[in-house]
Copies of this chain bind each other. A is one copy, B any other.
């Protein structure tokens, strides 16, 4: 009978399945090992530690997000593209809570960032390539908007950061349940937090347009 094929991929798949099924908290090295059908310590032959697995999943998440983002490059009107990016980002965050947490909330995956290639010597700063790339595509969209007359006089990078942080803030408040906890009186009369989120996004877009 065929030997079991163990590899970084098979471990990662199991980790991903468990992660998406039970969330991060309930995904241990031992769980993953059982899912793959191997002993826990075998995992350490393929991954240095748990944070490295988290980093690999973090990369997978960014692959999904950047795929979604790149589809938006066909939207010609830059402000429309910016809007679409925002919706896309929020959708991703809400629909892939756990991925979002690995990518933008958890600290562990950042412990295994690849050092910038080329410069092997010395203690070069670790580089968050995936995050940089995603942010860069936001920056260039903002820049395009400015070429079309939007956001006059604003520093491109700072504005991009503000837009990102606003979306990020909304997403984490939503995902960790805080939006839901705010009493309806203080947050608005809309029924559920999804509607509040949706509405807030639209208002924000209108706000940006008028800047």
CB-CB under 8 A from A159, the residues of chain B are 203
A132 CB to nearest chain B CB (Å): 5
In the bound complex, what is the Cα–Cα distance between A43 and B195 (angstroms)? 42
In the bound complex, what is the Cα–Cα distance between A136 and B187 (angstroms)? 9
Closest to A161 in B: B200
Q: Which residues of A in the span 157-211 have a Cβ within 8 Å of any Cβ on B?
A: 157-159, 161-162, 164-170, 172-173, 176-178, 181-183, 186-188, 196, 199-200, 203-204, 207, 210-211
> Is A157 touching B172 in the complex (CB atoms < 8 A)?
no
> Is B181 touching A170 in the complex (CB atoms < 8 A)?
no
CB-CB under 8 A from A177, the residues of chain B are 107, 110
In the bound complex, what is the Cα–Cα distance between A113 and B157 (angstroms)? 39
Stretch of A6-14, A33-41, A60-68, A123-131 at the chain-chain interface = A123-131
> Is B168 touching A172 in the complex (CB atoms < 8 A)?
yes
A–B Cβ pairs within 8 angstroms, 8 of them: A127-B183, A136-B186, A139-B186, A154-B207, A158-B188, A165-B169, A166-B166, A169-B169
Which residues in A have some Cβ–Cβ distance to B below 8 Å? 104-105, 107, 110, 113, 126-128, 131-132, 135-136, 139, 154-155, 157-159, 161-162, 164-170, 172-173, 176-178, 181-183, 186-188, 196, 199-200, 203-204, 207, 210-211
